[in-house]
Amino acid sequence: MCNKYEDFYSGPNRIAMHRIFCSFVECLRTDDFRVLKELCTADCKCDFSTAGSMIGIEEMENGLKWPGPSMDISKATIWNFVARSRGGAGRQTAYIQCIRAIDDGISVYPFLYGGQFSNTFVCENGEWKLSDIRFDLCYEYGNNCFVKDKWTLMDYSILCGHKPSINTELDNPWLVIPEDDEPQTDEEQIFELMFKYAYAFDNGDFRFLQTFVTDDFFINGAKQSKDHCDRIPEPGDFQGHREISDFLRGKFHKEAKMQHSCRMTAINREGDRALAYMLRGEEHRLKNRVLNRNNIHSVFATAVHLIYAVKTAQGEWKMYKYRIEPYSEMVTVDDDCMLYDEHILTGGAGWNR
């Protein structure tokens, strides 16, 4: 399990919650729950839109096990990780994207799914533990016959696609813990602007969007070519809260649940201005590519998000421009690599723009 870029985070609380969450996702990926009691409180509550509600370690061990057949390939990647703490209480959110596949030696038969976590932590005797885990499925794609009638899958005719486990306002980590015990570095704050944007957009919370962008916030949607997409969307330039909120609200209604999964890539900073590059990956939207035995052991990028940020007089970073550019990349990684950001931030992938 890759944790090299953990040094990127500041603050022992944030680092501890990051490590625990990575270990929890590894339990899900490997179907090995022996360390669950070290990660969670004895009375931990767990609510998965796919698998239902559980209380306590024993129920979680039984309820979270992979319900399908034995699989040859099992991947899980973590995106948009955020953690905040105050007075021994913690809140954490993240996206995951997973691939389970059978490889018969000739072809692969994959099932893909992605979802959102919103978790509560408590500090017990100086150690952080998960006390409430909430997961909402955002998409499923491919051979869902592996889990059909065992998991609650997406119903694309209703909002969220299922009865939601996560409440947009009540589980927003920035609203639940408005003042963090551990101030972030400038780099953390700049990257987190994209994670805030994704949370606001994907959950339809456009009031929250106004709290971290400037009054003249500008969105520039670059026109995509036929090489990157089956259809060519109209280029879009939008400015100001009214115009942008109306535009995003319309986009929000196109899917039952959206997931803007991004990873930290690079920052160019000069004084109180910065430009961050965030690679977006949508494993169920590979455009003109098809998963096969040659590329399934990869991490995918489908767009570059450019975050233009300015530091206010109060010392807070805000987004003043957001640009999307088409991009396509497949990078081979080990199936147990959950954190592709670390390849980039430690120079492993050598991404340049």
Among 207, 226, 59, residue whose Cα is nearest residue 133:
59
Residue 177 or residue 265, greater confidence: 177
Length of the chain equals: 353
232 pLDDT higher than 70: no
State the average pLDDT for the chain.
Answer: 89
Which residue type sits at 195?
F
Q: What are phi and psi of 195, to 5 degrees?
A: -65, -35
Longest dimension (CA), the chain: 60
Q: Could you tell me if residue 108 is inside a domain?
A: yes
User: Looking at the domain assignment, is residue 318 inside a domain?
Assistant: yes
**Strand ranges of the sheet holding 317-332, from the earlier edge strand across to the other edge:** 236-239, 213-221, 317-332, 298-311, 273-280, 262-270
CA distance 282 to 304: 12
Q: What is the pTM of this model?
A: 0.91
**Stretch (H or E) spanning 193:** helix 186-202
Beta strands in the chain (DSSP E): 40-48, 52-55, 73-86, 89-103, 108-124, 127-142, 213-221, 236-239, 262-270, 273-280, 298-311, 317-332
Q: How many structural domains are present in the chain?
A: 1
The CATH number for 85's domain is 3.10.450.50
Nearest alpha carbon to residue 68 among 153, 143, 146:
146
**pLDDT at residue 290, rounded to an integer:** 85
Look up residue 298 and give its two tokens.
């990869």
CB crowding 177-186: b at 16 or more within 10 Å, else e: beebebebee
Q: State the residue range of the domain holding 270.
A: 4-345
Tell me the C-alpha distance between 335 and 99, whole Å. Answer: 10
Between CA 96 and CA 162 the distance in angstroms is 18
Residue 124 in domain: yes
Q: Please state which of the ranges 54-68, 75-89, 194-208, 255-269 shows the lowest mean pLDDT.
A: 255-269
Of 72, 63, 70, residue with least CA distance to 152: 63
- Determine, yes or no, domain membership for 353: no
Taking only the tens place, the pLDDT of each residue in 243-266 is 988 888 888 877 888 899 998 888
169 lies in a domain? Answer: yes
Task: Indicate the residue type of 344.
Answer: I
**Residue 350 falls within a domain, yes or no?**
no
Query: Mind listing the pLDDT tens digit for each residue in 106-152?
Result: 999 999 999 999 999 999 889 999 999 999 999 999 999 999 999 99
Query: Is 351 within the bounds of a domain?
Result: no
Q: CA-to-CA distance for 313 and 334, rounded, in angstroms?
A: 44
